[in-house]
Chains A and B, each alone.
Chain A
Amino acid sequence: MAVGEERARNRRGIRGWLNPYHYNAERWAYVFQRVSGVAILLYVIGHLGDTSFFVGGPTGTGPSASSWAFIGSIFENSFGHLILILVTLILFFHGTNGIRLILTEFGLIFKKPAAIEYPYKAKSLGSGQKYLIAVAIAAAVLAALWAFLVLFEGMG
């Protein structure tokens, strides 16, 4: 490819995924959905690793109290609990926002297309979407609060 053609390319790349500045609330929700999804998957893979210590880790043969106590000594502390609270926060956002997206992508929460009038407010970006994003944020915050009470205040 000629140097000029290379320089002319103007795709935003991953910044186009991750930078929602100047755009709508649904775009912000898209960024958080994508980032939280990857983060949750990384947590789940780690969780498979740490729960395997219940059976002695990768080389174990069955339930082992000492192996379980060992992994507990690493993760069962304030820092580990803070991580769990963060995971709960992003998990609940991802799940609740995901429900919004499923309803949206099946067209279940839209008004029908019709004649439009100036100032042309997009039907797909109506108050319903904003409300559901707010519900997702609220669910995440409430879940994180609950996680804090469970992990730090012994509630349960």
Chain B
Amino acid sequence: MKESRLMLIQYATAVVAVVLVSVHLIMQGVIYPYSTAISFSNMLSVYRNGFYAIFLEALLVIVLVHGFNGVRIILHELRQSAPWTRWVDAGTVVAIVAAVAYGTRTIILAIFGGVAG
């Protein structure tokens, strides 16, 4: 992918992340008092709200793409050998996929998993 496309993704995810993270913080500290927001029962009801689950998934993807792409840029500036470049590019994709997968697992299990004691 051309670097200008990757940077467009970086800028777009930045702008969207500002909005989504703001909403996330408002949910955690303004809509409810913080202690209520992080209580087990409240967490269960928000995860099982379809809109909020989609919102969380979007937040996950946007923030991780932006963050790992940022680290990719930093690592590209650090060293310029061909093997390093290949490993950094591959590592970025692996890191994004792995982190998104782990976070998505949490969301899916929260919605569909059986509630334990």
Contacts and interface: CB of A to CB of B under 8 A. Distances in A.
Interface residues of B, number: 44
Contacts of A63: 40, 43-44, 47, 109-110, 113, 115-116
Interface in B1-28: 11, 14-15, 17-18, 21, 25
Contacts of A98: 14, 18
A114 interface: no
Interface in B24-74: 25, 29-38, 40, 43-44, 47, 60, 63-64, 67-68, 70-71, 74
A25 B68 CA distance: 26
A140 to B, nearest CB: 13
A60 B115 CA distance: 11
Describe A's contact surface by its main secondary structure: helix
B54 to A, nearest CB: 17
A65 B40 contact: yes
Contacts of A150: 29-30, 33-34
Interface string A118-154: 0000000000000000000000000000110011001
Interface residues of A, number: 41
Interface of A: 14, 17, 34, 37-38, 40-41, 44-45, 48, 51-52, 54-56, 60-69, 72, 76, 88, 91, 95, 98-99, 102, 105, 146-147, 150-151, 154-156
Given A91-B21, A156-B37, 13 more contacts: A37-B70, A41-B71, A44-B63, A54-B106, A55-B106, A56-B109, A65-B40, A95-B17, A102-B15, A150-B33, A154-B34, A156-B29, A156-B33
